[in-house]
Amino acid sequence: MITKKLRAPLALVTAAVAVSALAGCAGGSSGGDASAAGSSTYTWWDPYPQHTAGSDWDNRVQACGTEAGVTIQRTAYDTTSLTNQALLAAQEGTSPDVILLDNPAVSTLAQTGMVTTVDELGLDTSAIEPNLLAAGELDGQTYGIPIGANTLALYYNADILSAAGVDPATITDWASLDAALAKVAAAGKTGITFAGINTEEGSFQFLPWFWGAGAKLTDLSSSQAVDALSLWKSWLDKGYAPNSVITNSQNTVWEQFLTGDFAFAENGTWQVNSAAGAPFKTGVITLPAKNGGAAAAPTGGEFIIAPVQQDTARYDTTRKIIECMTTPEGFVETANTFAYYIPPTKEGQDQLLTKDPELSTWVDAVNAAKGRTSDNLGTDYPLISEQLWTAVQSALSGAASPQDALTAAQTAAASATSGK
């Protein structure tokens, strides 16, 4: 039997929901009351209000309920509202049976004691790629299963690179990327655009360079971190990137790229279909680490979790619903439904590539990716991230040097995390 008590009051954890502000989810909600569910009705919450009743996604969810022998009552919230609603429901004892949640928020809910572990539920996660599963781990326990992953890479305008004499296959580290940007600038085009905005999106886009330099989120002022921020600042100073990156969101980055004036754009798996429809030939390469190889980009995407229930007899059916959604075929169906999710298992990835071999770069990027709350950061992550994006803003605007900006960030982050 699984019995738990909530370990933390709501006020302690609501600050962590800021990490959910990433691409892939739309606004709006449709209300639902988990307490209204009968014994043959199981409640399901997810962050996809754009996928209404009768949509492909909704039909998938309902089919898993049918397979488990129950009816699913599905409620959709926007990403941030979903985390808040889940915390409130836990306080009131009205948690749904299943929640699909943005991966950085898993540790937020787990830390309150409101989520069952996969071991308690009897779920097998042995096939899940460890780097993707890590986003749902806290203090040695795993609290959910990723239904897929999205991440970042470098899209490129093949026409611009060809005219500038750049072969994208030669871009394997920072030095070769810098050389390519210099050639693009000499050809009269802008080299690269990215999102340096002072929100979680700014941290999300900076992390591949930060991690790719060998930096760690527990030490924002390391020499490796300074190298990463100095790289971004050098691109502005040399004119390789526009000053607008300071306020660019990921959507703005993509709009800039589609003008045809930029050689590269850092963006995510969710733009695959848009890139295919661009008025110029596009391609994609993994984000390079400083000294070569693929940099670890942060994982986006949702985890499927099971909140604690007073009636523990419900867990057997809950497990069946989750297992239905997380078979290799189920992962591929999710990828096809959303067009930007890479399955989190080798078998699922192989099945996807059989159908869509052009997604191989994205599979490579996901396999090199890293969860933002990995390394057991848990709810410390949003506190650290805020200081990181603040440092990026300070350095890119010229208000402080990369070293000074990151030193201040580390001091503030250490203070914020020690005082929790």
Residues 77-135 have pLDDT tens digits of 988 899 999 999 999 999 999 999 999 999 999 999 999 999 999 999 999 999 999 99
The three-class DSSP label of residue 174 is helix
Q: Side-chain half-sphere of 138: how many Cα atoms within 13 Å?
A: 24
Residue 232, token pair as written in the block: 């971004």
Mean pLDDT of 257-273: 96
Q: By CB neighbour count within 10 A (0-12 exposed, 13-18 middle, 19+ buried), where does 202 fall?
A: buried
Domain count, the chain: 2
Same domain for 181 and 234, yes or no, is yes
Task: Find the domain containing 283 and state its range.
Answer: 152-297+377-418
User: pLDDT exceeding 70 applies to what percent of the chain?
Assistant: 90
Q: What is the pLDDT of residue 10?
A: 40
Give 317-334 pLDDT, tens digit per residue.
Answer: 999 999 999 999 999 988
- Measured CA to CA in angstroms, residue 227 lies from 17, 152, 267 at distances of 29, 20, 21
Q: What is the pLDDT of residue 141?
A: 95
Is residue 226 in a domain?
Answer: yes
Q: What is the pLDDT of residue 420?
A: 59
Report the C-alpha gap between 134 and 146 in whole angstroms: 10
Q: What is the pLDDT of residue 80?
A: 81
Same domain for 321 and 361, yes or no, is yes
Is residue 3 in a domain?
Answer: no
Same domain for 252 and 273, yes or no, is yes
Give 398-409 pLDDT, tens digit per residue.
Answer: 999 999 999 999
Q: What is the pLDDT of residue 348?
A: 94
235 and 181 Cβ atoms separated by less than 8 Å:
yes
Same domain for 383 and 395, yes or no, is yes
Report the C-alpha gap between 180 and 164 in whole angstroms: 8
Higher pLDDT among residues 378 and 209, named by residue: 209
Is residue 126 in a domain?
Answer: yes
Is residue 2 in a domain?
Answer: no
Pick from 101-115, 330-344, 362-376: least confident? 330-344
The three-class DSSP label of residue 335 is helix
CA geometry: angle 331, 332, 336, nearest 5 deg: 120
- Does residue 345 surpass a pLDDT of 80? yes
Q: Which residue from 205, 204, 227 is spatially nearest to 215, judged by alpha carbons?
A: 227
Is residue 22 in a domain?
Answer: yes
End-to-end CA distance of the chain: 32
Report the C-alpha gap between 252 and 245 in whole angstroms: 9
Same domain for 128 and 252, yes or no, is no
Is residue 222 in a domain?
Answer: yes
* DSSP structure class, residue 137: E
- Does residue 4 surpass a pLDDT of 90? no
Same domain for 261 and 168, yes or no, is yes
CA geometry: angle 68, 71, 72, nearest 5 deg: 95
- Does residue 58 surpass a pLDDT of 60? yes
Phi and psi of 357, rounded to 5°? -65, -20
Q: What is the pLDDT of residue 79?
A: 84
Same domain for 289 and 162, yes or no, is yes
Same domain for 348 and 290, yes or no, is no
Residues 6 or more apart from 58 whose CB is under 8 A from it? 51, 52, 74
Mean pLDDT of 190-195: 98
Same domain for 113 and 218, yes or no, is no
Same domain for 277 and 184, yes or no, is yes
Is residue 4 in a domain?
Answer: no
DSSP, residue by residue, 237-263: HTTSS-GGGGT--HHHHHHHHHTT-EE
Q: What is the pLDDT of residue 344?
A: 96
Same domain for 212 and 314, yes or no, is no
Q: What is the pLDDT of residue 143?
A: 96
Give 350-359 pLDDT, tens digit per residue.
Answer: 999 999 999 9
Q: What is the pLDDT of residue 337?
A: 85
Is residue 304 in a domain?
Answer: yes
Q: What is the pLDDT of residue 254?
A: 98
- Does residue 15 surpass a pLDDT of 80? no
Same domain for 217 and 326, yes or no, is no
- Does residue 29 surpass a pLDDT of 70? no
- Does residue 3 surpass a pLDDT of 50? no
The three-class DSSP label of residue 148 is coil
204: CATH? 3.40.190.10
- Does residue 395 surpass a pLDDT of 90? yes
